[in-house]
Amino acid sequence: METERPHVFVVLGASGDLARKKIYPTLWWLWRENRLPKDTTFVGYARSPLAIHALQNSCLPYCALSADEDALFQSFWQKNRYVAGSYDKDADFKRLHSELDSSAGARPHNRLFYLALPPSVFEPATANIKHFCTTTQGWNRIIIEKPFGRDAQSSQRLSDHLASLFHEDQMYRIDHYLGKEMVQNLMTLRFGNRIFQPSWNRESVASVLITFKEPFGTQGRGGYFDSFGIVRDVMQNHLLQILCMVAMEKPTSVNPDDIRDEKVKVLRSIKPLQLKDVVVGQYVKNPEGQGDAALGYLDDPTVPKDSVTPTYAMAVLQINNERWDGVPFILRCGKALNERKAEVRIQYHDVAGDIFEGETKRNELVMRVQPGEAIYLKMMCKSPGRAFDLVETELDLTYSHRYKEVPMPDAYERLIEDVFVGSQMNFVRSDELREAWRIFTPLLQQLEEDRVRPVTYVYGTRGPKEADHKLLMNNFKYSGSYKWHQNHK
């Protein structure tokens, strides 16, 4: 890292939800841990006139401050400045430029621009950054938050606009799932272990299930959510990125472009989704629920009463290549479900030539992304002791047990650090984005043009029963017999 040169980190949309809940807390943690170049200052920019202490107070609840950190927290905020201005006025960006210069003490410095902005102001804001706020005496990097468009066409328009302003290597498109421990671990697990490689294919794998579940609804965020829906919000980005990491061939090296080349190849082997490949759902209130659970999606005042936006989706993708032909990759995600969970589940074929009278259950290799990172391999064993029965058991690597002392940085911490050092490995390249939209756009268009009504599911349940049926139809067997004994820990 160029530790000597000053750096200025600019948060555009500094007064917003993402900035308050995620970006400022992340900057504070990185700064506190001395993970940033020493001479880094932070400049917030948004329309509302805001004093630094007001910004500080609004971020405080998300900063996880310990009792003795007050003074340190104050020192962090002394490194912060704030400029109020619009997103489309040259004069305001010229003022921002002067502030950036002065916050670096008028010395040559590098600039990072974090765009925590609504899509509606994306284009003018980026054009103004380019024309009035970039420095010629250091590098400029732009961190872009999703949504990257809402379909193939709008995403391409945005990509063309950005490409007319910045080089690809200046742009860091964030998918924060690529910053999660277990998602990053997929590379090592797959390519650093001889044992998995020979069975990581259609000969051994029956199906791959990639899941994201949240136990809460849209919680007043319905306005934004309703115009996007769960497919755009989670599936087209977070789950598809995980799929790429699970399915890609071994890259030539760990060079970011070698990795992204392989991810793009996987995406190119997937046909666009059709209606028959999916189940879409929308949650209704739980009659016994309290608080949020007593409200269905359509009861949210920010959601139109006749909305057909899915809050749950399952999609079955087929990867048409030699390794995966015929193996369903099942992506499923939903809000207002029974638990918080994100995981990858590789389910293996049944044992061939059974000699145990149908007692064996399929092996499963589970990589749990959250909560509580874990990798476990479900397997059959002889029941311990005198009997010769079979039992389902597991080889278990629970991180909180095995790596008790290791601090686990948040996904945003890792990714922002990556931008400082200029590593694109965990960021989305424009051709990945294009392929992702190619796969999802026809389905999204059909859902919206035909106003396909989602099936309903009750708040706090596992989701629609139609989804379990779809699992069954796609070579995922649930036996219901596996028991996990937590007291192992």
- Residue of this chain nearest to ligand NDP (CB atom): 484
238 is catalytic: yes
Q: What is the DSSP letter of 200?
A: S
Scan for tokens 């998602």, then name that residue.
183
> Which of ligand NDP, ligand BG6, none lies near 151, with the C-beta cut-off 5 to 8 A by kind?
none
Residue whose CB is less far from ligand BG6, 233 or 413: 233
Residues sharing a CB contact under 8 Å with residue 143, sequence separation 6 or more, in sequence order:
112, 113, 114, 115, 172, 174, 416, 419
DSSP H or E stretch at residue 240 = helix 240-247
In angstroms, give the least distance from the CB of 234 to ligand BG6: 6
Amino acid identity, position 145: E
Q: Which of 238, 349, 469, 485 is catalytic?
A: 238
Nearer to ligand BG6, 39 or 214 (CB): 214
CB distance 144 to 173 below 8 Å: yes
Q: Is 181 in the site for ligand BG6 (CB under 6 A)?
A: no
Closer residue to ligand NDP (CB): 65 or 377: 377
Pick one of 39, 214, 249, 466: the residue that binds ligand BG6 (CB under 6 A): 214
User: What binding mask, one character per residue, do residues 325-364 give for ligand BG6 by CB under 6 A, x or -?
Assistant: -----------------x----------------------
Long-range contacts of 260-268 (CB under 8 A, 24+ apart): 260/424, 260/429, 260/431, 260/432, 263/432, 264/429, 264/431, 264/432, 264/435, 265/321, 266/319, 266/321, 267/240, 267/432, 267/435, 267/436, 267/438, 267/439, 268/435
Query: Which of ligand NDP, ligand BG6, none has residue 356 at its interface (CB below 5 to 8 Å by kind)?
Result: none
Burial of 332 (0-12, 13-18, 19+ CB in 10 A): buried
State the residues that interact with ligand NDP by CB under 6 A.
209, 211, 345, 366, 374, 376, 394, 396, 398, 462, 468, 471, 478, 482, 484
Query: Of 233, 300, 364, 432, which one interacts with ligand BG6 (CB under 6 A)?
Result: 233
Which one of ligand NDP, ligand BG6, none interacts with residue 214, CB within 5 to 8 A by kind?
ligand BG6
What lies within 8 Å, CB to CB, of 460 at 6+ separation is: 215, 286, 289, 293, 336, 337, 338
Q: How far is CA 162 from CA 52, 172, 257, in A?
A: 31, 11, 19
Shorter beta-carbon distance to ligand BG6: residue 36 or 234: 234
Task: Kindly state the smallest distance separating residue 221's Cβ from ligand NDP, in Å.
Answer: 23
Q: How far is the CB of 284 from ligand NDP (least distance, A)?
A: 19
Q: Which residues are catalytic?
A: 238
Residues that bind ligand BG6 (CB under 6 A): 176, 214, 233-234, 342
